Structure formats: C-alpha cells, structure tokens
Structure 1
C-alpha cells in the first residue's frame, strides 16, 4: 500500500508540473499538448483498438526475444562460469561485441532475417543476452565453495550440481542481470520497431510524428513507460517467489 501511495503521489506531481509548463509556458500546444489532450489521445487509441494491437505486437516480440535470451544466457553462463578456463577464451570476444549497440546490427539483421517480427526479436535477444550472461558467469564464480563440497560429499554430480546447487545459490546475483536486461530489451524493442516494423508501439510513435499528432505521440510514450514499469514489477515478484522456493535467505531484500 505504501508503495502504491508513493507511485500515485509521484504521478500527481508530474502531472501538476506538466500542466503548469503548458499553462505558463510559451510552447504551442501542438508541440507540447496538455495532460487532458494526451488523455483524450490515449482514449482515442484505446477506443479504436490501435493501442491494443500495438501492445500485442510489441509484447509478443519482447517476450520471445527476452525469454530466449534469458534461457540461453543463463544456461551458457552456468557452463562458462563453472569452466573458468573456457570463459577465459570466450570473455575477450564477449567484451568486444557487448558494447556494440544492437541497432548497429540492424542492417545485417534485415539482410539475414528479412522484414517482420524476427528482426525486432533478434535485436531484443542481443540487447538482453550479454547482461544476463555476464551476471550469471560472475555469480557462479562467487558461489560459496562450501555448498559445492557438501554436494560432492553427498554424491551429487553434473548436471544436477549446476541446476540444484549452483543455480539457486547464484540466483540473487543472476536476478540483477535479468532486471537490467529487461529494461535494456524493452528500450531496444521500441527502437527496433521505430526503424523497421509496421506494427507495435515503436511504429506508432513514428506514425504519430508523421501525422503531426503530438498528443498521440506522448500517449504512446507514456504507454511504453507504464508497460515497462509493470514488467519490472512483475519480474521482481517472480524473482522473490523463486528465492522463497529455493530458501535463499534475505531473498525479499534483494530489491
């Protein structure tokens, strides 16, 4: 309840400052529409079904790309984190590719995968993969060796050792990578849709700009922010449930 109050107060302050800037400023409302105008634009998008269709397309691309990245990065990170010698060879390549913006790969992605949902999914995958991979490798390297010794004394061998012992012990740190990757993937989803998609929230921003509808443009931008906030809250709740299930002490205090 306290968190909800904080969110409502924050939003109220933003709306007051926004309305004050529109009322007292010298901007043309065609360039900076007021909150009521944006609210009417939001209702227009909802009533026409445009917003629902855009959210549906964006969420499909996001979840496919993000879940594929999470599964592959955690799996590979567990293996490379366990076999540190192998990671020593892979790490230089990762550090070379990781700083490159996923959007920079877009021309090659379009040439290889064509136009449609797949290019956006690939961009999301790239954006989410490296933060999760690095977080997982580092987390595995910091697992208390006492857990490993006890597990080996009980005869636990691979792959059970990684999935039943190492993964739960490393998960609080892996969760940080999942959180960071979620925000990064959501940002690059919109960027990818603005470049090459014909549907989705990113495309709707470009379409509103081309039609000089600043009210719809801001309505789409706010929708992206609200959905991002919901996704972040959802992954936080999912993380806490996994920590409780695995009995990780202090799991509720990770975020």
Structure 2
C-alpha cells in the first residue's frame, strides 16, 4: 500500500476509503513484468497477476472490456461481441476479443467475472485499479456505444470503491468528463496524450491525478520537450511499447 507523503485518503462511504495517487509522483509502467523500480519512482502500474510494488503507490491493471491474450476460451461465448460468425478482435491487438457490453444482462455477467479480479487487486495490496479498453465501442462496428461501456464502467468503479481501491480511467480522452461525473472515476492512466496533444482533456478533469505513459518508438518530438510542455501531466514516464523488464533488449525508461 502507498507509504508516500501526498497519498490522500478519500471516503467513499461509512466503511470504505481509498487512496488517491500522490500528486506529481514519478511513475513506472511494468505490465510486461514487475521489477525493482528505479530510485525516485513513486507510482507503479502492474498487471493483476503480479504483486504490487512494496512501499509505493501501486495501480493494478485489469482488462475490463476485452479479453486478455490467452484467456479467450475462459469467457462464455455469448459474452463476446460477434461479427461474421466469430468474435470481433481488436485490430491493434488481434489476440484480444471485444466483450459484448450491449445489454444490462451481459454487463452484469461481465461484472460478475471481472469483479473478483478487482477484489483480488485489493487483497494483493494494490492501492488502485485501472480498467483498460474503455473505448472498445469505437472498434465495435457500431454494435456498442459509449453508454454501454459507461454503464459497465460504473459497476467496476463501485466494486473498486467497495474494495477500498481508487478507480482509474484508462484513455478515452473525449469522454473524460462524463466518465468522471457518471462512472465515478478518481484519476486517469493515459497513453501518449502528449503525442496526440490531448493531455489537457484529462488534466482539465483530474488535475494532477493523471499518470501519462509515452512510448519511445513514435515520438514526434523529444521527451524533454514533452516534459516541458505547459499541458504535460505532473506524472509522466517514457517507456518501450512492449513494457519489457530492464534485463530485456529494448528496455526504455526515462522520466521528466
């Protein structure tokens, strides 16, 4: 759990509290495998299958709107979005199938599967959880819309808060305001907001509670310039896109 100054506790109800990310802390994003964070790192994101970083603010990654690679067969077929006789896959991540969030009944069943993952993050000692692929509706051939995913996101946030976890919006810049207001997200974990010039869409909503990961393979300008930008979030890191560990070729880690 967070042992840093700047971690603010927020009441959710009479029995549950969660802790917000420390404002301006240096992040690391370790979805490719956990390792000892560099000196000065205060926020670490890791997969739900990993352990949190001891003594640091730890964010648990959950793929809440698409299947994880290698887990397709563990999902009921009717909870997968189908097109042309088979599951519809993310074009950028072809081993991730979209979940069908189009009806209340399906959303409830998805939440029954994902809910224990969220609670498992809390049991493992994470401080917060982020839900990836909120924007899956944009890849659904118009089978889903933002209201479908918003309704499911609200269920996820409720489960997270009940478990004592802060809930992080992942990407979906254009919906940041409505996601905070209606789903109840507390902070944002974003990718390449500087590349796409959309950081203000998050910071206008979440202030300093925005954690930005930029990737080294497609920088339109130097990372130093990104850090110096007036719209840059207070917490930024440059990583390799595969998020490998320091012992692997291609590892990149740079901070502002």
Q: TM-score range by the shorter chain?
A: under 0.3
Q: Choose between structure 1 and 2: higher helix proportion.
A: 1
Q: Quick one: higher RCO (CA 8 Å, sep 6+), 1 or 2?
A: 1
Of Structure 1 and Structure 2, the greater strand share is in: 2
TM-score by length of 1: 0.26
Calculate the TM-score normalised by the size of structure 2: 0.26
